[in-house]
Structure 1
Amino acid sequence: MKRDSRLSGVLHILLHLAEQNGPVTSEVLARAMATNPVVIRRIMADLRDQGYVRSEKGHGGGWTLTCDLSAVTLRDIYTALGSPSLFAIGNRTESPGCLVEQAVNAALDQTFRDAEALLVSRLGEVTLAMLSADFHRRLVTRGGSHDLETVHAS
C-alpha cells in the first residue's frame, strides 16, 4: 500500500523556502523534490489559499514563504492539506452483519480514533521553527552551506 507522503514533502518544501532570499520557481522545487512542477503547483496552491506561501508570476517570480515559522505547527500544515488519513489500516467491512466483526470494528474504531487524536495533538506541538532549528544544527554539524539547486543532486 502506497503511503501518503504529502505532509513530509510539504514540510520539506517549506523549510527549503525558509532558507531562500527570494522566490523559488515550481521547476526548481520540483527538481529538488524529484517530482513534476504541476504537482508542486497543486500542493502549493492549497498552502497559498491558507496564507502560508505567496506566488509571483513572471520573470523573477516563484514561491515565497509568508508565515512566521514559530507560529505554524505541523498540525496547521496537516490541516491545510485536508487532514489526510493518518493510518493505512482499517476495518475489513464498514457495516458487518456478523456480531464478532461488529465487536472487532468497535474496538479498532476507538483505538484508531485515540491514536489519531494523540498524533494530531503531537503535530500541534511541533512548529516549523523547531524543524528549521534542527536543520540548522545538522547543517552546522555537517558543515557547508544550503543551496537548493544542488542539495538534492546525486
Structure 2
Amino acid sequence: MRNDSRLSRMLHVLLHMARHEGPMTSDEIARMLGTNAVVVRRTMAGLRDSGYVRSEKGHGGGWVIQADLETVSLLDVHRAVGGPRLFTIGSEHPNAKCAVERVVNQALESALQEAEAMLVARLKTVSLAELARRFDENCRSTF
C-alpha cells in the first residue's frame, strides 16, 4: 500500500474492528480492503508495535483493538503505519541543475511544508473515538 492510502485504509480497518465482536483475521481484513493477508499483517504490525492492536493466535484468533479510542489520534495512526510524510507529491529532481527548477522546487516545498504542518495539527485533534461516534451517527440516520 502507498503511504497516502495506508492511513485511510487502516482507519477504515480500526473503525470496523471497534464495532466488530471478537477478533478479525488478516484474511477478513484483506478481503475488506481488496488486498492480501501478507500486506495486512505487515501494516498491522506497526499498529501492534505502537500498542493500538494485538494479535491473538490460534483458532478464533485475529486482530483486536487494545487501545482506548479516545487517546489515539489520526496522527498517531499515521505514524504507526509508517507514514513519514503526509504528501507524496514533490519534485522529481530535488537536486536540479537548472536554476528555474530549483526555484520552482523551493516554492513547492515551502507550500507543501506549510500544508503538511496544518494537516498534522488537525490530525492531532481528531481521535478514533470521534470517528467511531460519527460512524454511529451516520448509521442511525441512515436507518
**Superposed pair shares fold, TM > 0.5:** yes
Aligned to 2:50: 50
Query: Residues of 2 paired with 1:93 and 1:33: CA distance?
Result: 33
The structure with the larger Rg is 1
Runs of 4+ in 1 over 3 A off after TM superposition: none
Q: 1:81 Cα deviation (Å)? A: 1.5
Establish whether residue 142 from structure 1 lines up as the match of residue 137 from structure 2.
Answer: no
Establish whether residue 9 from structure 1 lines up as the match of residue 9 from structure 2.
Answer: yes
- Which runs of 5 or more residues in structure 1 are unaligned? 144-154
What is the root-mean-square deviation in Å for CA atoms of aligned residues? 1.6
Establish whether residue 27 from structure 1 lines up as the match of residue 59 from structure 2.
Answer: no
Establish whether residue 112 from structure 1 lines up as the match of residue 109 from structure 2.
Answer: no
Tell me the SS of whatever aligns to 1:100. Answer: helix
Aligned to 1:96: 96
Tell me the SS of whatever aligns to 1:124. Answer: helix
Q: Please give the per-residue CA displacement for 1:2-58, whole angstroms capped at 9, x wherever unaligned.
A: 783111110000001111231111112222222211121111111101100000110
Q: Does the Cα contact within 8 Å between 2:3 and 2:83 map onto a contact in 1?
A: no
Tell me the SS of whatever aligns to 1:69. Answer: coil
Aligned to 2:76: 76
**Percentage of matched positions with identical amino acids:** 51
Q: Does the Cα contact within 8 Å between 2:53 and 2:63 map onto a contact in 1?
A: yes
Aligned to 1:124: 124
Letter in 1 for 2:132: S
> In proportion to residue count, which structure has more helix?
2
Letter in 1 for 2:34: A
Query: Residues of 1 paired with 2:69 and 2:54: CA distance?
Result: 15
Tell me the SS of whatever aligns to 1:63. Answer: strand
Aligned residues: 142
